[in-house]
Each structure stands twice: as C-alpha cells, then as structure tokens.
A = this chain, B = another copy of it.
Amino acid sequence: MNPAIAAVTGSTIRALHAKRRPTSINLGIGEPTLRPNIAHFEAATRWVGENGCRYSTNIGDADLREAIAAKYAYPTLAHADNVCITTGSQEAVYVAMRTLLDPARDEVLVVEPAFPVYVKIAQIEGVRCNRVAIDPQTRDAFDAETILAAVTPATRLVVICSPCNPTGRVIAQATVRRIAEGLLARGGEPVYVLHDEIYRELVYTDDVGEFGKVYPYTISINSLSKSNALTGLRLGWMMAPAEIMPQFVKMHGWLTSCASTYAMHVAMEVFRTNDLGAHLPWYVSQRARVLEALRASGLDYVEPEGGFYACVRVGDASMDTLAFAEALIDERDVVAIPGHIFSRTMAGWLRTSFVGEIAQITEAYDRIANFAAERGTLAMTRR
C-alpha cells in the first residue's frame, strides 16, 4: 500500500452526510437542488444518435474549448488551446497540482478558509503545503498583504477559491491586482495562481476579481456543476497559459484519457444557448430570504457575496466543532459542516448551504441557534 494514500483521510463532509436520517434538514449539501435544463441533455442525446459517442482528443472538443475561451476572454488564456476539458473541476485541480509541483522542492500556498481538497492533494502528493488562514469576517476577505507575506522562496503555486467555499466571500478586483503586482515584483521563477472559480456564475456583488484578467500566470478552473445544477455530469475545465498546457494535457491523458463526449455536448448546448446564468435569479432571491432568516435567528454570520453557503458562528475558536456538528445531527436532526475543516480560523463556525426549501432552512437556523444557546457556546461569540 502506498503510505501517502493510507495516511490521508476521506471526506468529513461525506462522512457527516452518511449520518443523516430521512427526516434530517440537510444544510450540509454542496450542490444545487434545482433541476438542470433537460433540453441540453435531449440535444446531446440527439447528437449521439447521429454521431455515436466516441473518444474526443485528450484536450477536449475544440468548439467547446473555443466557447469557453471566448466567454471568459482572459487575455493570456484567450485561445481554445488554453482550455482543457476535464472530469469535473476536481480532476482539473488534481492535474494542475500534480503536474506543476515538484515534491522535492516546491511548496503550495493555500488561502483558507477553503474546500479541503487542495490540502488533501498536496498531502497525497507529498508536496509541502503552507496554509494562510484569513478571518472569515475580515473586511477584505482575501487580504493581499497577508497572502503575499505567506509566499516563500519555494512557493510555486497559490490556490485561491473565490467565490469562496465555504465563506461565500468574493475576492475584489483591487485585491487581485495587488496580489498580481506583489507576485510579479518578486522576480525569479513565476508563481502560478490556481483560481478556483467554480462558483463564478453565482455572485451577488459587482466587484468580482478574476486573476485571469490581470495575471499572466493564472490557472483558472471552473465547471458547470454549480451554475447549471450539473454536479453529476462531471464536466469541468482548466484554463492555463500556453507554456504549461501541453504538460497538463499529457497528465490528464494518462489519468482519464479525455472527458465525456456526451457531457461536452451538454456543455456546448449551455454555451450555445447562453444558459450559464439561468439559475442566478433564483439564487439572488433565495439569498435575500436566507439573509432575513439569518437575521431573525440571532446567529452571527458571514454575508455571502457568491455561491450558496452561509457560515454561522456557534462557538469560539476553542470549541470542538466536529463534536458540535455531530451532536447537531443526533439531537436536532440538522446536517451542517463544521468550519474547522476549512481553516483554523473557522473553528466555532458551521457552513450551511442554502439550496433547499426556505422554510426548512429557517427552521434549521432556529434549531442551530437554540442548540448553541443551550450548550452555552453562543455566549462566547462576538454577538
């Protein structure tokens, strides 16, 4: 057995889900409950009926890659050859980290709070991982000076997930510019930024920073999973500068050959019909109602600027957040994700997703607030 794999743990999120009952209110879930547009599947099915379902090239269908490059129009990622279609965004993250980082000398800097996968992949690959944890309620959600101060001479990659899973905060344009300047000023071998933009289409602010717009060493990763309720389709992509893309495509080829031809045709329909923002209006109105429910609950929370999560505070940094989340399932039938898995600054927090029925979500926030009050942990929060 490979000891690096044996040492890494599985997903806490999936383990908590396994504890849920049929009656549970599930705020743990990391995917939309909206239905995808079935017309896209019907169109892809017709295409298969006429053309079969054969391998694509390793890099993926040229028309889809062109549509993606054109949609985002990042100056150094503007051509179809800057786009590789992957099995969801997760394979893209794996390929980028695996290919770019030399375990013998390189270090990755993960800006937290963040989805645990980046740290897990670094651990599996034996790559040194430096984590910079930012307070979820800080004024600047991705404080540039804090991030730049954490870059070391060995840093070869900085991972930033914005809109952020779990906090829902969005990196500002000025922050992106400041980080880009800082990294460019450093000289020497370039430091790449892996910008995970998987919640990019679900934003509630006009100030949305995108590394691809200003930083030439950007790897932008995205998918249709969240925007179009297509988590089960496993269709994502990576955009990368020309000098490294061939290496990414090679690794992707040896890992999975190519992405699904069927899924690529569903994706092409999404782009062709300009359907990427189809679900945004629902999230905008859902978020407004969620903010009302949060205010009514009395809980301290992070106001989401993107995505479909709201983080709520249930204790201070010293609390056993996993034990709280487990007791919350057992005793109050509410599933929420303990914040400590996303960063040390989120001990005492829960990540709640707001993809379900608003009445259920409101009820769940009340149960969480009462449970924390009864356990006496709430008194320790800032309220």
Residues of A with Cβ closer than 8 Å to B? 1-3, 5-6, 8-11, 14, 31, 33-36, 38, 41-42, 45, 48-49, 52-58, 87-88, 90-91, 94, 98-104, 117, 120-121, 124, 229-234, 244, 247, 249-251, 253-263
Contact = CB atoms under 8 A, between A and B. Distances in A.
Nearest to A248: B5
Nearest to A4: B102
Contacts of A49: 38, 41
A232 to B, nearest CB: 3
A53 B231 contact: yes
Given A45-B42, A55-B232, A260 B257 contact: no
B45 A87 contact: no
Contacts of A98: 2, 5
A90 B36 contact: no
B254 A8 contact: yes
Contact of A45 (B38, B121, B244): B38
Given A231-B55, A255-B255, A260-B260, A103 B2 contact: yes
A112 to B, nearest CB: 18
Contact of A5 (B58, B94, B250): B250
Contacts of A230: 53
Contacts of A99: 1-2, 5
A45 B49 CA distance: 13
A255 B90 contact: yes
A33 B42 CA distance: 22
Nearest to A11: B253
A48 B36 contact: yes
A256 B2 contact: no
Given A2-B103, A255-B91, A250 B55 contact: no
A52 B256 contact: no
22 contacts: A1-B247, A8-B254, A10-B253, A33-B52, A34-B52, A35-B52, A38-B49, A41-B49, A41-B262, A52-B229, A54-B231, A56-B232, A87-B256, A90-B254, A94-B254, A94-B255, A94-B256, A121-B254, A231-B261, A232-B260, A232-B261, A262-B262
